[in-house]
Amino acid sequence: MQRLALLLALAWCLPGHAQPLTVSKGVDMRQALDDIALAAANHELVLVKMQPIDTALAKRGFENPHIRILFIGNESAVRWAEAAEPRLLNLLPLRLTLIQRDGRMTVMSDDFEPWLQEFPENPARRMIEAWREELRAMLEDFVRQ
């Protein structure tokens, strides 16, 4: 897991590499989940699923990496994607990765840049940009709570 974290850190330092949306605050996993659910609801998004990577690995004898994956979205995003560009459904529901380290919770989105390059034309590009901005606003709400 430490190698993975190092590789991710190195990849983020590469020039020209777009970064995912990332925020951090000093809360535990339970409080972070509650705060994200509330921030999502404030932006008409719902927590669709939580994938407990940490507990699944610990059950199998691996070290607990303190990582969870959240899937968030709403029905209108699915309808818009179907109408504008069905391949955008691959992005939905939107994913957030939660990483707990040293009493701080870091929340990170997927990197939207490859998708923006894949869809340089409107309306798909506008939709991806709108999703990214909605996630940015939601993560800002998460930090303020």
Q: Residue ranges per domain, the chain?
A: 18-144
| Crossing angle for the helix pair 124-144 and 75-84, to the nearest 10 degrees | 160
3-state DSSP assignment of residue 76 = helix
Residue of higher predicted confidence among 33 and 13: 33
Asked if residues 95 and 110 have their Cβ atoms less than 8 Å apart, the reply is: yes
Q: Looking at the predicted structure, is the pLDDT value of residue 30 above 70? A: yes
CATH of span 18-144: 3.30.310.70
pLDDT digits (tens, 9 = 90+) for 79-121: 999 999 999 999 999 999 999 999 899 999 999 999 999 998 8
**Which residue in 111, 109, 90, 96 sits closest to 37, CA to CA?**
96
